[in-house]
Structure 1
């Protein structure tokens, strides 16, 4: 049982995942009575093994992220450069989208119609002002 206590100290309680009952994670249900002590012990060992694998993978991921940051630094890729590239790429994707093109064409047509309407209205006002003189 000492191994189980050590494992519990090394592995903090997990945060409930989506759909997991928070009450169940705080007060876990009693283990099913149909498990033998041997089966329970095997499951406990498997649990610790999986938790250790998760911890190892987290450490490997952190090391890879540090390696990535180091390579980017050596290449002169800064977060600002990446942001600029992402914005440029996103803007290109937006401007080539069908919705953007249709909206742009519609606004262009509306602008031309508005220009024509204002021009016509301006001419009419000018004529009225000339008539008043």
Structure 2
């Protein structure tokens, strides 16, 4: 309680709460014109009347809310069903809005452009790889590997590189040798 008093002393220009307390604390220092005793009595009666009406309306509202809850319960409408319906209505409202449609169209166009860009990048990479394979340096390297392969395999010298595939006699002869048998190897220079 002392904290409240200290707080109100520290903040003298704070706004009082609305309601009975505010009316009582306003007193004669309020900016309203001075009231006669008769006017003051009428306003006091009107205040009591309005407060009674508010209380009555609050009670009626509570009864109506209870009646609403009973009807919903009898119909099988649960808070979860209401939430789902609200979400569905809200989503329909969002999807039919102009902003959503414009955003959706923009994203769709961006997706198409991105797909085209990725396709172009893929094609460019494929072309570059093909260029590298057809480059003289790569062919020379391939020929050197083939020459080395021919030198390493003694029976492969009888066949040409174009006549062989992975199941060639040269490969088969190397694979068919027992583990302990010596193989011929040409020195690498």
Pick the aligned partner of 1:22 from 15, 19, 38: 15
Between structure 1 and structure 2, the one with the greater Rg is 2
1:26-80 CA-to-partner distances (Å, cap 9, x unmatched) read 8313176742222221211111011001110011011111110110001000000
TM-score where L is the length of structure 1: 0.76
TM-score where L is the length of structure 2: 0.55
Equivalent in the alignment of 1:97: 97
Structure 2 distance, partners of 1:60, 1:23, is: 29
Question: How far has the Cα of 1:110 moved from its partner?
Answer: 0.9
Structure 2 distance, partners of 1:99, 1:118, is: 28
> Unaligned stretches of 5+ in structure 2?
1-13, 134-189
Structure 2 distance, partners of 1:108, 1:35, is: 70
What is the RMSD of the two structures over their aligned residues, measured on CA atoms? 2.0
Equivalent in the alignment of 1:5: none
Q: In the alignment, is residue 82 of structure 1 matched against residue 75 of structure 2? A: no
Structure 2 distance, partners of 1:76, 1:42, is: 50
After superposition, the Cα gap between the structure-2 partners of 1:72 and 1:131, relative to the gap in structure 1 and judged at 3 Å, is same
> Unaligned stretches of 5+ in structure 1?
1-20
Equivalent in the alignment of 2:126: 126
Structure 1 distance, partners of 2:129, 2:16, is: 80
Structure 2 distance, partners of 1:54, 1:79, is: 28
Equivalent in the alignment of 2:112: 112
Equivalent in the alignment of 1:67: 67
How many residues are aligned here? 113
Structure 2 distance, partners of 1:91, 1:23, is: 43
After superposition, the Cα gap between the structure-2 partners of 1:52 and 1:119, relative to the gap in structure 1 and judged at 3 Å, is same
Structure 2 distance, partners of 1:102, 1:38, is: 66
Provide the secondary structure at the position in 1 that maps to 2:51: helix
